[in-house]
Structure 1
Amino acid sequence: MNSRRDFLQKLTTSAVAIPFLPLYGSSEQFNFYDQLYDGPVLRVAIMGLGSYGTRVAEAMQNCKRAKLVGVISGTPAKVKDWQAKYGIPKKNCYNYENYDSVKDNPDIDAIYVITPNALHHPAVLRIAAAGKHAICEKPMALNAQQGQEMVDACNKANVKLLVGYRMHFEPNTLEIIRMRNEGEFGKILFFEGLSGFKIGDPNQWRLNKELAGGGSLMDIGVYSINGARYMVGEDPIWVTAQETKTDPIKFKEGVDETILFQLGFPTGAVASCLSTYSMNHLDRFFLNGDKGFAELQPSTGYGPIKGRTHKGELTKPHVTHQTLQVDKMAGVILAGEQAVVPVDGVEAVKDLKIIDAIYEVCKTGAKKTLEL
């Protein structure tokens, strides 16, 4: 966790001044990315060098409190390319068989797991055993039992477990949360979350139950599940759900195409959400209260996120989500800072419990009580 004054002096010549929301949720904003930072830096290795891993790596080039220093991959050619592109030393390069030896590498503080869903659980257990902090993409695991095992392993090893909830740091999203907390929407009555797109290649891992753990719900549907919770500001106490499948060849047994689900909250608010792999143009959140409303469309895409409330358009400037996410996660790990909306493993286990329940009630047709 060394400082890198020279690196950041070069970085700030190209950085854009953007208001930065502190992790503590203060209304104070400051031009974090327009200031020289010379504090501790989280040194991160990325596991999984696919398309999203590449997106995170590119975004991390603009981070101030985190730096990409290592890779873990089963593809030697990718490792070689990343070494050349990002200046990663050979001693910080691992494959899926030997990365346990990262425990002996003091130059890596955390490993960001960006692999197919089924690989998250074993990877985080090994990372914890190696004494490194873990950042894991969502869904954190295939089910709540696996997720809890991951939380327990990291607690036992005294390392952090964070999950890639990038929207928890997105400025317009946080503005809605601030307004709700200050009562500007009044009593929250209703939330709608629409998350979906037409998925392409039928042979990709997202349509393989062994690797994905399901279908659309385990991918895009997580956004509406988690979004319902942070937009309403409560955890749900019951769930109902219905599954629809129009293409059983592409969406095989155990791989859901479209799921409608409904959530009920302690204060009486209800949520109606859609998760699908068969419809485009579905990226919208709507929150309704007895004094006002908030809408985000797009609500969870890579940005810019756009929205409005009963008071007018939301105008927070766009910052690359993964840059904000990793920088602020560095604050959580290095300085014990707290996110406005939690991004730890405990948060992820709650989402996994809801996913487990949705799949169950799709089969039973019954309303299920939730205990998160």
Structure 2
Amino acid sequence: MKTRRLFLQKASLSAMALAVPAFNPLSAMTNSMNIVSKDSEVLRVAIMGLGSYGTRVAEAIQDCNRVKLVGVISGTPSKVEDWKSTYNIPAKNCYDYDNFDAIKDNPDIDAVYVITPNALHKDQVIRVAKAGKHAICEKPMAISAEDGQAMVDACKTAGVHLLIGYRMHFEPNTLEVIRMRKDGELGEIRFFQGLCGFVIGDPTQWRLDRILSGGGAMMDIGIYAINGARYMIGEEPIWVTAQEVKTDSEKFKEGIDETITFQLGFPNGVIASCLSTYNMNNLDRFYLNGSNGWVEMQPSTGYGPIEGQTHAGPLTEPIVTHQTVQMDEMAAIIFEGKQPEVPVNGEEGVKDMKIIDAIFEAVKTGEKVALNLS
């Protein structure tokens, strides 16, 4: 019997080719999406990938008002049996990676949340879309912007939503900082710093496998600084420079970045200075400086609670379970076409992937790389 590891490696090497037209986000959100009837108040979700984060999402869904966990997709039969018992999931809603295309004939599942290794996302999301189900995909959405765009296009063609698991876009203290910036309380924004990292453990895990992860710390934790710079500053960067340091070439093999510092330049002259690492702990900090004020958040992107100080005092918004709020808000996006303060659609994910692609190019060439996120 194939092990889960062998299956993942095999699946990661097989991508689906799909020729589809260019994506129009406005028409997709307002016209061509399969909007669920408001009478169907609960979004019925199957989770694909029953690892630690899949478990965290499943637990968070138990407190949702508009989302219910109704199915599972996994390559590990023992996990499927455990989840069936724990979450009262019927056998007819349980699938493996080979047969989950059959969800197209299952009216009890509205959406699939893909929480598998990065390199598998493209193939799996496209298959979900072809089955006529909405796709929620954990970040990074893919291992390249090209793959991410293929996912967006496939979901557009199928008339289903593609949403990316940007939980911070719904976190109350994060939204309060965005409000302060938009209302002018910080004055003219001048600088952002994002520090993201931890010391990674098991050297055999998939995150340190180039084929499955598509990269190292940048894909896993650096994406928070990239995305955070964009929503904290409120503009899109136009260039990037980057430098890589690797102290352990055995653990961090070719294609697996250990530590990268990178700088993003914005049209208004703001610079974002960021760090992504798998070799330092206690790095989860955002700092935003403006002409009239400042914000420091630490922790800034962890599972919670998010804490911070501003020139006007501490951030005091309610503490929430990020994934619970995320899933309920995503139900509102699918049910009613609700527009969140910061987008969580596939286009948002592609923008981050374009920046990651450019960071890797800047590391390789030592040159400033221009960005076009339009």
Give the alignment's TM-score, normalised by structure 1: 0.90
Instruction: State the partner residue of 2:54.
Output: 53
Q: Name the SS of the counterpart of 1:220 in structure 2.
A: helix
Instruction: State the partner residue of 2:194.
Output: 193
Q: Name the SS of the counterpart of 1:359 in structure 2.
A: helix
1:113 aligned onto 2:84 = no
AA at the equivalent of 2:297: L
1:298 aligned onto 2:305 = no
Q: In the alignment, is the contact (CA less than 8 A) between 1:139 and 1:222 conserved in 2?
A: yes
1:107-139, CA deviations, whole angstroms, 9 ceiling, x for partnerless residues?
000000000001101000000000000000000
C-alpha RMSD of the superposition: 1.0
Deviation, 1:317, is: 1.4
Q: Name the SS of the counterpart of 1:193 in structure 2.
A: strand
Q: Name the SS of the counterpart of 2:338 in structure 1.
A: coil
AA at the equivalent of 1:170: E
Deviation, 1:206, is: 0.3
CA distance in 2, matches of 1:362, 1:212: 18
Deviation, 1:39, is: 6.2
Q: Name the SS of the counterpart of 1:356 in structure 2.
A: helix
Give the alignment's TM-score, normalised by structure 2: 0.89
CA distance in 2, matches of 1:310, 1:217: 31
CA distance in 2, matches of 1:173, 1:339: 13
Deviation, 1:352, is: 0.1
CA distance in 2, matches of 1:303, 1:317: 11
CA distance in 2, matches of 1:306, 1:262: 25
Q: What is the percent sequence identity of the aligned residues?
A: 71
CA distance in 1, matches of 2:180, 2:364: 38
Q: Name the SS of the counterpart of 2:64 in structure 1.
A: coil
Deviation, 1:38, is: 8.7
CA distance in 1, matches of 2:200, 2:236: 30
Structure 1 spans left out of the alignment, 5+ residues: 1-36
Deviation, 1:333, is: 0.6
Deviation, 1:295, is: 1.1
Deviation, 1:146, is: 0.2
Instruction: State the partner residue of 1:138.
Output: 139
Q: In the alignment, is the contact (CA less than 8 A) between 1:39 and 1:65 conserved in 2?
A: no
Residue correspondence of structure 1 range 194-343 to structure 2 within 5 A? 194-343=195-344
Structure 2 spans left out of the alignment, 5+ residues: 1-37
Instruction: State the partner residue of 2:148.
Output: 147
Q: In the alignment, is the contact (CA less than 8 A) between 1:207 and 1:251 conserved in 2?
A: yes
Deviation, 1:99, is: 0.3
1:222-263, CA deviations, whole angstroms, 9 ceiling, x for partnerless residues?
100000000000110000000000000000000000000000
Instruction: State the partner residue of 1:63.
Output: 64
List 4+ stretches of structure 1 deviating above 6 A: none
What is the aligned residue count?
Answer: 336
AA at the equivalent of 1:190: F
CA distance in 2, matches of 1:38, 1:68: 18
Q: Name the SS of the counterpart of 2:229 in structure 1.
A: helix
Deviation, 1:267, is: 0.8
AA at the equivalent of 2:337: G
Q: In the alignment, is the contact (CA less than 8 A) between 1:83 and 1:89 conserved in 2?
A: yes
CA distance in 1, matches of 2:253, 2:224: 23
1:276-321, CA deviations, whole angstroms, 9 ceiling, x for partnerless residues?
0000000000000001001110000000000111110000111100
AA at the equivalent of 1:218: M
